[in-house]
Amino acid sequence: MHSKIKPFISKLVVLIIISITACMPTTDGSKKRPNIIIFFTDDQGYGDVGSYGAEGFETPHLDSLASDGIRFTNFYVPATVCTPSRAGLLTGRYPKRYNLHEAVLFPFSEGGLSLNEYTMAEMLRNNGYTTSIIGKWHLGHKEEYMPNNQGFDMFYGVPYSNDMDNYYYKNIDFQSPPLPFYRNKTVIESGPDQDYLTKRYTEEAIDQIKNRGGKPFFMYVAQNMPHTPLHASPAFRGKSEKGLYGDVIMELDWSVGQIVKTLKEQKIYDNTIFIFTSDNGPRIGSARPLRGKKAETWDGGQRVPGIVAWPGKIPKGVVSSEFTSTLDLFPTLAKISGSKIPADLELDGLDISDYLLDPKTTKLPERPFYFYARNGEMEAVRMGKWKLHIKKSIGWNTDKDGVFPVSLYNLDADIGEKNNVIDVFPEVVEELTNLMKEFETEFQ
């Protein structure tokens, strides 16, 4: 071989090797793809966070998180109660699409989230993420529906609500067992001391972060509190001016702070998307200045706190009035993480990643959002500033106030849904009524 060709070939081989290795996925995927944490509380109201106007207790860690990113003031969940809201979060689809939109699952229920549904955990795991759920599942307690069969590598927590612990359902003569506490598919405890649930979940989250390995991770921290019965560890009892409820919220805030502190100590906070929200409105907390509460399709039942932070990527200290929902998280996190969505998957959420990264110059499109009641029926729709209610199963006293009147509200001017302007804007009523009819035809 010619003497001048040898070094040329050697250089060429080196270049090819460099090119190939550059195209290969890095073993430490966390350097390329962000870690994702969704911190999901249970029955925490719109007004139960300091930066949203909470009174009687403080939430400094949540307020700090909000100052590190975007605090949404028009952030919604697709249901008024636990099970369908959690299903919507993990699928990006209205629970009506897979018949999980009515009421909640109980310890005597036989069903759960259909295995045909493609969950956020499955999507991220297929993209090389480690996936875990810590806390409350509530999407089916039969083994086939449990987290380890729905895309989660790890499960540490309970299968349903804390009030179902050893509860007797007299109408059907069913005695539920002591609340089972799982480590993956194994029950490691029955009837745990609920005073320590928030603390235990926090410690597990910290342990998983410290022992995360080389992959990026998705962690779904689904706290049981402040769902009743309320419980707080001894360190937080008596800390707030608002009794046990305030103590519970302050411990949840502490939990957020501990997780953020660990992320910073591990030097991965800047490469972690941290999302905080609640599954629905409050039962005993505050939704001020909204009307209604949990189980009602008034905004107090479905508009919740929504905070998204990703230091260095999402601008700091933004307060956004753009309409968004937990349905948007699936397509948004898919885009940000570079995960693939099946071509035939019909999502109801919108990819808002461009808005998160550049909220000053990006505008989200107006789109309808449908409100399904606890009984499974559609009761309202929101489009832009307008919200139309056509019926009301909960949250209206027919004995006192008579039949519920079809009602239209301008939420920009009337956040408390007090001033019915249906007679002033008949064309808006017609448009929104048609939207509801068209959407319902998809399920006939």
The domain spanning residue 381 has which CATH number? 3.30.1120.10
The CATH number assigned to the domain holding 80 equals 3.40.720.10
What is the rounded distance in angstroms from the CA atom of residue 48 to the CA atom of residue 318? 19
Query: What is the mean pLDDT of the segment spanning 333-357?
Result: 97
Q: In the Cβ-directed half-sphere of 208, how many Cα atoms lie within 13 Å?
A: 26
Catalytic pick among 61, 101, 138, 231: 138
Do 153 and 262 have their domain in common? yes
* Tens-place pLDDT, residues 134-155: 999 999 999 999 999 999 999 9
Domain count, the chain: 2
Do 388 and 315 have their domain in common? no
Window from 22-31, 236-245, 295-304, 308-317 with minimum mean pLDDT: 22-31
Do 72 and 195 have their domain in common? yes
Assess if residue 199 is contained within a domain: yes
Do 117 and 215 have their domain in common? yes
Do 382 and 345 have their domain in common? no
Residue 443: predicted pLDDT: 77
Do 350 and 414 have their domain in common? no
Whether the predicted pLDDT of 16 surpasses 60: no
Do 126 and 177 have their domain in common? yes
Do 235 and 149 have their domain in common? yes
Contacts of 123 (CB under 8 A, 6+ apart): 151, 330, 333, 334, 339, 340, 341
Do 263 and 173 have their domain in common? yes
Assess if residue 74 is contained within a domain: yes
Say if residue 154 is exposed, middle or buried (CB neighbours under 10 Å; 0-12, 13-18, 19+): middle
Assess if residue 17 is contained within a domain: no
Query: What is the mean pLDDT of the segment spanning 111-129?
Result: 98
Model confidence at 5, in pLDDT bands (50, 70, 90)?
A: very low
Assess if residue 319 is contained within a domain: yes
328, 357, 386: which is the final residue of a domain?
A: 357
Assess if residue 134 is contained within a domain: yes
Q: Where are the beta strands (DSSP E) in 137-282?
A: 154-158, 168-169, 174-175, 180-183, 186-190, 217-222, 272-278
Model confidence at 23, in pLDDT bands (50, 70, 90)?
A: very low
Residue 282: predicted pLDDT: 98
Assess if residue 295 is contained within a domain: yes
Query: What is the mean pLDDT of the segment spanning 297-314?
Result: 97
Do 394 and 314 have their domain in common? no
Residue 22: predicted pLDDT: 36
Catalytic pick among 61, 82, 101, 141: 82
Do 317 and 412 have their domain in common? no
Do 61 and 126 have their domain in common? yes
Q: Is 138 an annotated catalytic residue?
A: yes
Assess if residue 21 is contained within a domain: no
Whether the predicted pLDDT of 70 surpasses 50: yes
Assess if residue 370 is contained within a domain: no
Parent domain of 416: 377-441
> Is 370 within 8 Å of 94 (Cβ atoms)?
yes
What is the rounded distance in angstroms from the CA atom of residue 306 to the CA atom of residue 288? 15
